[in-house]
Structure 1
Amino acid sequence: MEVTIQIESKADHKTIRHNGNTIHYFVSGNEHGKTVVFLHPAFGDHRCFDGQTDYFSANYQVLTVDMLGHGLTGVGKSKDKISATAAHVAKILESENRVRAHIAGVSLGALLAQDFALKYPNKVLSLTALGGYNINRKQPEVAKSQGLEMLKWFIMMIFSMNAFRRYTANVSAINEAEQIRLYESAKNFTRKSFTVMSGLGRLIADRNIERRYPLLILSGEKDNELALKMAKQWHENDSGSEFHIIANAGHCANMDNAEAFNGILMNFITTRE
């Protein structure tokens, strides 16, 4: 018997229009506080941060976004790709009359959070990356691993999107309830959604940049070996960054161990304001 979870959100559901696309996002929390923006992993949606929304809403305005091809946003009529996320976040902040924000991303969201920081550094109060790697260095080892994983995805999708969704949910979290949450959020990710995922490799390049914002790098202790290696290497190459491994958690550690993730992130952003 399949188990499902019901999501009840106290957040205000809003949209912006950008280049022919309607981007859905959710606002909750303290309108007088500073803003925290959460960007979800591939195949998920804003529900991946259900464990963060209430916690941070007491002191902060919380923005969660359904990125292009995901959740309620889906695939628009324009030729935009998910790499347009930086522009979408900038427009959302403008719509909410917010000049700067703390940006936190998970997995794919961690890459797009970095891209936002590259394009809009003056809008970034801090950057948090969970389950990601440094996009300012070419990553041949990661590219090879991701290529093999994508081949596996495509083979699965040919036969069953549900099998694909269940597989990605199970490798992204170790907690059964969070695997279910990821599976439910992935139901809005379709074969057509893959059309917006191309071109992500172009975000990665060797760059010499001067980081002007605090950087927090996080990994789940039960994430795969390569992900842990890349996170540690990123921290070692950026001596000003802060690095934590979250216990009892897999790739989406904010879901598997929300209490530990929330505490680390809250301490990080409050001590740097």
Structure 2
Amino acid sequence: MHLTEGPAGPVHWTDDGHGEPVVLLHGLGGDASFWEAERKALAERFRVIAIDLRGSGLTPTSAVGAGIDDLADDVAAVLADQALGSAHIVGFSMGGLVAQAFAVRHPESTDRLVLAATYAAMGAQSRLFLDAVLDVYSGGATPRQMFDLICPWLFSTDFLADPANGVFLQYPEDDPLEQSLEDWRALYLAQQVFDGSAALSTITAPTLILAGDEDQLAPVREAEILARGIPGARLRTLPGGHLFNVEAPDTFLDAVRSHLVGEH
């Protein structure tokens, strides 16, 4: 187990492979295990550090809150703890907000940047849906009921219709790291109020933006805003819904790897 003392408490992270460091940042409701497939593949060429953001996985919540900037500073603490002057940063969904904030607050520590399934500010459709999810969750719904509610929003229509993909729609029973309602709420509210639009023009790291062509939570139009705002950013649309890394894993990995090594 790897623990770093961050600005507000311990931060848990995993460590795989050797080479240039790559930091992986998961989305809302996830933890470092979200990256299980990518960690193994990227570790063939890179040192891969996957961080449990506050209130996720083995990183406890913080009594002083968990704003997106705070999460970015936790990432900086892990890099400093490992004497890493800089790293590639890959953020997915909420992790993409943290990655943006990190690139703005710690530009000297950001080599290349990948922003996947994310946005500069949460759109109205996503906010309305997740507000409703929070209301249902706060009203006493079980984690399994919440999983069943959210899951259809994570994948494309064709993926959901294929019986072979049923395994991805099954609730993970007896998860020892199941996130609490309080931690989910804190991270969701941090995500809801974040607006990185004004700071996009200050991001200097070479940036790749990845969007799912059927993503309803972070639609392509939101990725286009990122691409227009970040100088020199490239946008690539991949097949799939919000979890297009699950629907098109090889395409996703190839895109990330190519960007991290400077290929176009």
TM-score range, shorter chain: 0.7 to 0.9
Q: Is 144-153 or 99-108 further displaced after alignment?
A: 144-153
Determine the structure 2 residue equivalent to 1:212. 204
- CA displacement, residues 78-136 of structure 1 (integer Å, 9 cap, x when unaligned): 2131421111111111112211111011111111100000000010111111111135x
Of the candidates 42, 65, 70, which is equivalent to residue 80 of structure 1? 65
- CA displacement, residues 133-182 of structure 1 (integer Å, 9 cap, x when unaligned): 135xxx6xx1x323312321123211313211332234224554444488
Unaligned segments of structure 2, at least 5 residues: 160-164
Determine the structure 2 residue equivalent to 1:191. 181
Of the candidates 2, 5, 19, which is equivalent to residue 17 of structure 1? 5
- Separation in structure 1 between the aligned mates of residue 169 and residue 5 of structure 2, nearest angstrom: 31
Distance 1:233 1:180, change over 3 A: same
Distance 1:226 1:108, change over 3 A: closer
Shift of 1:226: 6.0
Is the CA contact 1:80–1:196 (under 8 Å) kept in the aligned structure 2?
yes
The percent of aligned pairs where both chains have the same amino acid is 19
Is the CA contact 2:202–2:230 (under 8 Å) kept in the aligned structure 1?
no
Q: Is 182-191 or 214-223 further displaced after alignment?
A: 182-191
Is the CA contact 2:126–2:216 (under 8 Å) kept in the aligned structure 1?
no
Please say if 1:165 is aligned against 2:165. no
Distance 1:207 1:55, change over 3 A: closer
Please say if 1:124 is aligned against 2:74. no
Determine the structure 2 residue equivalent to 1:69. 55
Unaligned segments of structure 1, at least 5 residues: 1-12
SS in structure 1 of the partner of residue 28 of structure 2: coil
SS in structure 2 of the partner of residue 192 of structure 1: helix
- CA displacement, residues 184-242 of structure 1 (integer Å, 9 cap, x when unaligned): 87962211214532344144352473432101000122212861111124324546211
SS in structure 1 of the partner of residue 49 of structure 2: strand
- Separation in structure 2 between the aligned mates of residue 181 and residue 265 of structure 1, nearest angstrom: 28
Q: How many residues align?
A: 250
Is the CA contact 2:6–2:78 (under 8 Å) kept in the aligned structure 1?
no
Please say if 1:260 is aligned against 2:251. yes
Determine the structure 2 residue equivalent to 1:235. 227
Distance 1:225 1:199, change over 3 A: closer
Is the CA contact 1:51–1:254 (under 8 Å) kept in the aligned structure 2?
no
Is the CA contact 1:38–1:104 (under 8 Å) kept in the aligned structure 2?
yes
- Separation in structure 1 between the aligned mates of residue 227 and residue 105 of structure 2, nearest angstrom: 21
Is the CA contact 1:134–1:234 (under 8 Å) kept in the aligned structure 2?
yes
Determine the structure 2 residue equivalent to 1:3. none
Is the CA contact 1:14–1:25 (under 8 Å) kept in the aligned structure 2?
yes
Is the CA contact 2:99–2:113 (under 8 Å) kept in the aligned structure 1?
yes
- Separation in structure 2 between the aligned mates of residue 208 and residue 41 of structure 1, nearest angstrom: 20
Distance 1:181 1:26, change over 3 A: farther
Of the candidates 128, 132, 137, which is equivalent to residue 148 of structure 1? 128
- Separation in structure 2 between the aligned mates of residue 204 and residue 251 of structure 1, nearest angstrom: 20
